[in-house]
Structure 1
Amino acid sequence: MKLAVNYSPAAEQLVRERKINIDIFKCPDFSRDLIDQAESVKPNYIHFGLNAGRGQMDKVDWNTINELRSRTNTPYVNVHAVAFTKDYPDVDVFTKKPEDTERIVKAVVHDINMVAEQVGMENIILENVICRGEGENMLQPIIDPAALTEIVNQTGCGFLLDTAHARMTSMLLGLDVRKYISSLPLESIKELHITGIQADEKGRLRDSMPMTSEDWDIAAWVVQQIKDGTIPKPWVTALEYGGVGPKFEWRTDKEVLAEQVPMLSDLIAEEAQN
């Protein structure tokens, strides 16, 4: 299992100074210059911004995606399973109607099948997103483990577990995070994302923050299951901290990276030794 971290100039500098040791950078798909820069230091792979469930896969530039995949040897095309409230104005956020869930699942499956026509189903992984509840932008059925399992079973795609997304969803909806994660389609896991959760000045939770003890507890619990063989071994575990652009630069602290990348590396190394 490889260790990755979000590419950032701070992470690059730490790698060059041999203060952190990673296998690969995780890069966004919007800048070839950034990919070139990351590649000058370490191999990198692409995390794509595709959303399955919006009916917009026919607008995707597949030539660019295939070119980036080939250039970086990115093994999987990730898609986020989404059900935005604006796409379902007639549906309550907490709907329990089977027909609503069926409609959402059908939309996501349709889009994944379209992706499969371009890259092959065996090369697709589906990522769990965040549901914040009433007044927010994501419907609850799309984070329901049964719905996500149905999507994976219908399509045959893989699964990308984002522990921060699972923690935030559980905290905001009052779920037991371990039970929630355990109910996800982990038997199909191919990639693992780990990062911290913290509240902003208004108390709103956000991810891609420094890891806290609670975040480490969940990370260690998931890795232990990988060690035990309960969960298949993902090809990569990525620390999703730091990055580029206005959304991430302000929360990219070199000292945090210098401390927490080795901590995750040790956690993964412990798994690898068993």
Structure 2
Amino acid sequence: MKLAVNYSVEAERLVRDSVIDIDYFKCPDFSNELIENAEKTNPCYIHFGLNAGDGQMDKVNWKNVKELREQSNTPYINVHAVAYAKDYPNTDIFSSSPSLVNRIVDAAVKDIEIVAEKVGIENVIMENIVCRGQGENTMQAIIDPAIISEIVDQTGCGLLLDTAHAQLTSKCLGYDVKEYISQFPVKQLKELHITGIQADEKGRLRDSMPMTKDDWELARWVMQRVKDGDWPEPWVVSLEYGGVGPKFEWRSDQDVLIEQVPMLCDLVK
């Protein structure tokens, strides 16, 4: 397994100064220049901002996606399984009616098939997202393990498991996170994302934060499933802490990286 961390100015400096040791920077897909600069210090792979389920896949710049993938030797094209409440007006976000479930599954499958036509289904992985419940923008069905499994079964794509998304969803909806994750199509695991979740000043939980005791306990449990052979080895385990731009750069504390990257490395390696 390879180890990656979100690209940030702080992470780049620490790698360059040999303070932390990683295999890859995980880079966003919105800046070719950022990727070119990052690769001067360390190999990169690209995390694409593609969604499966919102009907926008035909608007993607596939030429740029393919160029970025080839430039960085990124093995998989990732998509996020989405079902936005705005696309299902006058429908309870907790609805599990067969007709709604079929619409959500069909929308995700259709979008994934578009990606598969471009790069081959063996190169496509699907990531679980967050559902916070009432008053939010995500239909609960899209985070249901049975529905995630149905999409994976119908398309043949792999699974990108985001433990923080699962943890956040579980805390918001009252699930047991280990039982929840165990129902995912983990036999198709290809990539793993790990990071912390913490409450903001208003008490709203968010991810891409420093790891807490609960987050480390979940990470150890997940990695033990892999090491015991219950789940296949993902090609990479990425610490999704820090980043670039206004949304992430304020939480790119080098002290957190200095402490937590080696801790995750111990788990992975």
Scaled to the shorter chain, the TM-score interval is over 0.9
CA distance in 1, matches of 2:44, 2:164: 22
Q: 1:20 aligned to 2:23? A: no
Aligned AA for 2:247? K
Equivalent AA in structure 1 for residue 183 of structure 2:
S
Partners of 2:100 and 2:217 in 1: CA distance:
35
For residue 44 of structure 2, what is the amino acid of its counterpart? N
- Give secondary structure in 1 for the equivalent of 2:237: strand
Q: Where do 1:1-274 residues align within 5 Å?
A: 1-269=1-269
Q: Percent identity?
A: 66
Paired residue type of 1:128? N
SS in 1 for 2:208: strand
Distance 1:202 1:57 in 2: 35
Counterpart of 1:178, as a letter, is: K
CA distance in 2 between partners of 1:82 and 1:43 (Å):
30
SS at match of 1:149: helix
Shift of 1:90: 2.6
**Structure 2 counterpart of 1:125, one-letter code:** I
TM-score (norm 2): 0.99
Unaligned runs of 5+ in 1: 270-274
For residues 124 and 163 of structure 1, what CA distance do their matches in structure 2 show?
19
| Alpha-carbon offset, residue 238 of structure 1 | 0.1
Q: Report how far residue 96 of structure 1 moved.
A: 2.0
TM-align CA RMSD: 0.5
- Rounded Cα–Cα distance in structure 1 between residues aligned with 2:66 and 2:213: 39
State the number of aligned residues. 269
Aligned twin of 1:272: none
Specify every segment of 5 or more residues in structure 2 that has no aligned partner in the other structure, as ranges.
Answer: none
Aligned partners of 2:267 and 2:176: how far apart in 1? Answer: 23
CA displacement at 1:37 relative to structure 2:
1.2
2:248 is paired with a residue of what secondary structure?
helix
1:205-258 Cα distance to aligned partner (Å, 9 max, x none): 000000001000000000000000000000000000000000001111000000
Task: Give how far 1:79 is off.
Answer: 0.2
- Cα offsets for 1:17-69 (capped at 9, x unmatched): 11100001100000011101110011000000000001111100000000000
The TM-score, its normalising length taken from structure 1, stands at: 0.98
